[in-house]
Amino acid sequence: MSLKNQKFNKSIEVLTKSIRGEVLLDELMSRHTSFKIGGSAEIFVKPYDADDLITTLRWAKNNKMPIFVVGNGTNIIVSDSGIEGVVIKISDTFSNMIFDRNDVLVQAGVSLQRLLEEGMRRNLCGMEFAWGIPGAIGGSIAMNAGSNSRFLST
């Protein structure tokens, strides 16, 4: 094994021991996308909490690794050649919503469908245009998901 590979493996070991979530190598992205296609993620991380996310982001930066964040894996197509660097899946972990009258604080991993259903249950309106759009709120905002007349953005 080359010195470069030994250092890489040691670095992965440090990340794995530093977080409570999962660290997987060469994880097939087809397992994490709605289209069920795509090659492997070089490093695939499912953080357990915000501390894991911060640790992973710092680790990737320190190791000069590209970062690709996914939620529910909708509206992404991964090449058969896969993704170099670190893929961080946040949908399962970051899925809390806090309602305060007409305001809502939503974590990035909340599905858009769940947000709309809970809003309807609370007689809130204004996001009807987003009904039927798949995915998590984080990706929906990042991609400006929407319809002909309205869209989500930051």
Stretch(es) of the chain classified as CATH 3.30.43.10: 3-89
Reply yes or no on whether the pLDDT at 36 is more than 90.
yes
What is the distance of C-alpha 28 from the center of its chain? 15
The answer to whether domain 3-89 has CATH 3.40.50.300 is no
Going by C-beta distance under 8 Å and a sequence separation of 6 or more, which residues neighbour residue 51? 19
13 compared with 130, residue with greater pLDDT: 13
In tens, the pLDDT along 57-114 reads 999 999 999 999 998 888 899 999 999 999 999 977 899 999 998 889 999 999 999 9
Question: Are 90 and 70 contacting, i.e. CB atoms less than 8 angstroms apart?
Answer: yes
Instruction: Determine the residue type at 85.
Output: G
pLDDT value of residue 132: 85
Query: Which of 84, 93, 83 is closest to 136 using CA atoms?
Result: 93
